[in-house]
Every structure is written in structure tokens, then in C-alpha cells.
């Protein structure tokens, strides 16, 4: 998880507390049926269940590795956006002709427009990445008392409100009329740079470099969209999910007889402990089931790195960090630089 503090064992317990309570209740019911109501046929051999557990472990491990690869690729993409964004603004700033004192104000204004338009691109891209897809789970927590309450800026503020300060009225209307808003903003940026070059405000060779940077940003946008728009193959995720649950349902029926046999042997030394030893299977069974279920949940939570869960790549914070960096590069006044987003419960989004 992209959480600023260490994700402690206590946090994991809180995260899975509902499942733990269900596992305890289920195992206790099976144990009661076996021991109290003498339903001895409610058992399966331990060896086949152990083999199933081994197969499930491999499947869950594969799923978690694939999910981690998606998260890590997404993080590398947005790391590239950070570097390319800074390079773009620095290159634009140093590419103006500065030999005429009377042109300094005009060039400063043009630089500000380009910078603001790039902030609009970052904003539009993060909103596009937060758009809900039908295959994405909803992790947004409702209720202020939750230990996992967190802030997703894209869910609380409309995109129109975020884009307006950084685009002219005509550009805002143009961008809002398009399905792919980041792509429209990149197009406007390219047109602007071409016009500045024609007006001899930028070096001709600088345009080639700037176009390469825009091309790189477009490529990074496309890579990010690829992860967003193509889900983790459901045949793998679904098989892992069902196999883990088959294992979870069968495990108590395999472990309870083993504990009952051990209890019979223990009765020779201590009749009291031996009589109730079978009930000790409940904590041991719950621990095993909990481990498999938690690993499954980690894999499922990491499949979609932009959906708005605590496990996401923190694109909102990354975008705001870039915004602050490039505004400082152009010497924007401090009161005009937005503050970092609030991270509730130290969870970055």
C-alpha cells in the first residue's frame, strides 16, 4: 500500500476483520457439528486438501506477482511523467529569445500559459485514470469512523472546477467537448509551440526537442491508459478466487478429525485436555484460512492501480507534486501554488 507509515500487522487484522469473524464462526459450526452433534461423516482426508492447498498457493503467488507487475509498471510510467514534465517546462523557459528587454514580459506570459496548460493535462489525465470501470472494485470507505478512511481528490471535486483555472475560456470549452481530454490538451500545447516558433519567439531547433517531449508525454499517457483500460485477465483472477474458497471450505473438515485423533491420544496423559483438544483446531484452522484469504485479497486489490483504493499508485499526490515543482520553476508567487493534498490516515492517493 502507498501508506506513509509502516503497514502494521494490526492494520492487516483490521483490514480483514470481517473475514476473520466469518472464519471463526464457520470453523466453530463445523467443529460443533462434528463433536457435539456427532456428525462424524462431516470430514475429508487431509492429504487431498493439503495438495489442493499447495496448488492454490502457486496460483495465488502467480496472481500476486502479476498484480505487482501492473502496479510497478504504473509507478514507472508516472515516474516518467514527473521527469518529462519538469524537462518540458525547463526547456521551454530556456528556449525563448531573451535578447530584447521589451519581450521579457511577453515571454513570461507565454511560459505561464504553457505551464498552466501542462497542469491542466496532468489534471485531466489523473481524472481519466480515476474513471470507474465495470471490472474495478469500489474501495472508497463510507463513514468517518473507519480506520481506513482516505481522500481521493477526484471523487470530491469535479474536473471542470480543477481545469478552469488553468485554461482559457475557449480552450476549456474545446477540451470539455472531447472524450479524450488529455489528448486534446497535448494538441493545444503543440499548436501553441508551433505558433511561437513561427513568431520567432522560440528557437527553431527547440521546437524539435519540445515536440519530442510532447511525444514522450503522449506515449506515457498511452501506457497509463493501457493499464487502466485493460483489466487483469479474469480467467486467472476468477480461478484463483474460486480455488481459494474451495480450499477454505474444505480445510476445517480435514483438520478437525486430525485434532480429534490427537485429543484421543492426549487423554491418556490428561483427560480434560484430551476431551476438549478438538476445539483447538479453530484458531489453527482460522490462521491458515486467513493467510490464504489475505494473500488473495492483496492480489485482487493490486490488479487495478488507478481505481481509487489505498493500494493505488498515488497519482493525485504525484500530479500535485509536479504542479508545485513546475510553478516554482517559472517563479510563480507562493500564494498561487496549490498546497499538497490532504492524506487521511497517512494514505497517499
- Model pLDDT for residues 266-279, shown as the tens digit of each residue: 887 888 888 888 99
Mean pLDDT of the chain: 86
Angle at CA 82, nearest 5°, toward 79 and 86?
Answer: 150
In degrees and rounded to multiples of 5, residue 233 shows phi and psi of -50, 125
C-alpha cell at 106: 511577453
**Distance (Å, whole) CA 306 – CA 205:** 37
**Distance (Å, whole) CA 343 – CA 316:** 10
Query: Is 141 or 73 the better-scoring residue by pLDDT?
Result: 73
What sign does the dihedral 108-113-114-116 (CA atoms) show?
A: positive
pLDDT of residue 292: 93
Mean predicted confidence (pLDDT) in 162-190: 95
Q: Which of 22-36, 127-141, 250-264 has the lowest mean pLDDT?
A: 127-141
Q: Which of 10-14, 17-21, 325-329 has the lowest mean pLDDT?
A: 10-14
For residue 86, pLDDT over 60 is answered with: yes
pLDDT of residue 297: 85
pTM of the full structure: 0.84
pLDDT tier for residue 146 given thresholds of 50, 70 and 90 = very low
pLDDT of residue 137: 67
Mean predicted confidence (pLDDT) in 135-150: 54
For residue 81, pLDDT over 50 is answered with: yes
pLDDT tier for residue 144 given thresholds of 50, 70 and 90 = very low
Mean predicted confidence (pLDDT) in 79-107: 79
Query: Measuring CA to CA, which residue among 311, 299, 310 is closest to residue 238?
Result: 299
pLDDT of residue 103: 57
Q: Which residues of 294-319 are buried (b: 16+ CB within 10 A; e: fewer)?
A: bbbbbbbbbbbbbbbbbbbbbbbbbb
Mean predicted confidence (pLDDT) in 244-264: 91
For residue 99, pLDDT over 50 is answered with: no
From residue 313, alpha-carbon distances to 78, 189, 227 in Å are: 9, 26, 12
Query: Measuring CA to CA, which residue among 42, 72, 93 is closest to residue 257?
Result: 42
**Percent of residues, the chain, with pLDDT higher than 90:** 50
pLDDT tier for residue 3 given thresholds of 50, 70 and 90 = very low
pLDDT tier for residue 284 given thresholds of 50, 70 and 90 = very high
**Distance (Å, whole) CA 299 – CA 320:** 28
pLDDT of residue 291: 93
Amino acid at each position: 500500500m502507498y501508506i506513509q507509515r509502516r503497514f502494521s500487522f494490526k492494520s492487516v487484522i483490521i483490514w480483514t476483520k470481517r473475514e476473520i469473524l466469518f472464519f471463526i464462526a464457520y470453523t466453530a459450526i463445523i467443529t460443533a457439528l462434528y463433536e457435539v452433534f456427532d456428525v462424524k461423516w462431516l470430514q475429508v482426508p487431509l492429504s487431498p486438501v493439503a495438495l489442493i492447498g499447495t496448488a492454490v498457493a502457486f496460483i495465488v503467488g502467480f496472481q500476486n506477482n502479476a498484480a505487482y507487475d501492473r502496479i510497478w509498471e504504473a509507478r514507472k510510467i508516472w515516474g516518467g511523467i514527473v521527469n518529462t514534465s519538469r524537462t518540458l517546462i525547463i526547456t521551454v523557459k530556456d528556449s525563448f529569445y531573451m535578447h530584447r528587454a521589451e519581450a521579457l514580459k511577453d515571454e513570461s506570459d507565454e511560459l505561464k500559459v504553457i505551464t498552466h496548460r501542462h497542469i491542466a493535462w496532468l489534471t485531466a489525465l489523473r481524472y481519466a485514470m480515476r474513471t470507474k470501470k465495470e471490472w474495478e472494485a469500489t474501495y472508497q470507505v463510507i463513514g468517518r469512523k473507519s480506520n481506513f478512511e482516505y481522500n481521493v481528490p477526484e471523487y470530491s471535486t469535479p474536473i471542470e472546477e480543477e481545469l478552469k483555472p488553468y485554461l482559457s475560456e475557449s480552450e476549456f470549452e474545446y477540451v470539455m467537448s472531447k472524450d479524450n481530454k488529455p489528448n486534446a490538451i497535448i494538441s493545444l500545447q503543440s499548436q501553441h509551440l508551433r505558433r511561437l516558433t513561427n513568431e520567432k519567439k522560440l528557437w527553431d531547433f527547440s521546437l524539435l526537442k519540445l515536440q519530442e517531449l510532447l511525444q514522450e508525454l503522449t506515449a506515457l499517457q498511452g501506457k497509463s491508459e493501457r493499464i487502466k483500460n485493460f483489466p487483469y485477465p479474469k480467467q486467472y483472477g476468477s480461478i484463483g478466487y474460486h480455488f481459494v474458497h474451495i480450499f477454505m471450505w474444505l480445510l476445517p473438515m480435514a483438520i478437525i478429525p486430525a485434532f480429534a485423533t490427537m485429543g484421543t491420544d492426549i487423554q491418556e496423559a490428561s483427560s480434560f485436555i484430551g476431551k476438549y483438544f478438538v476445539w483447538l483446531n479453530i484458531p489453527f484452522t482460522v490462521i491458515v484460512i486467513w493467510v490464504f484469504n489475505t494473500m488473495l485479497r492483496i492480489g485482487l486489490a493490486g490488479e487495478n492501480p488507478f481505481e481509487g483504493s489505498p493500494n493505488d499508485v498515488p497519482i493525485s499526490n504525484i500530479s500535485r507534486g509536479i504542479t508545485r515543482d513546475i510553478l516554482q520553476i517559472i517563479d510563480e508567487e507562493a500564494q498561487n501554488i496549490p498546497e499538497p493534498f490532504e492524506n487521511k490516515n497517512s494514505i497517499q492517493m
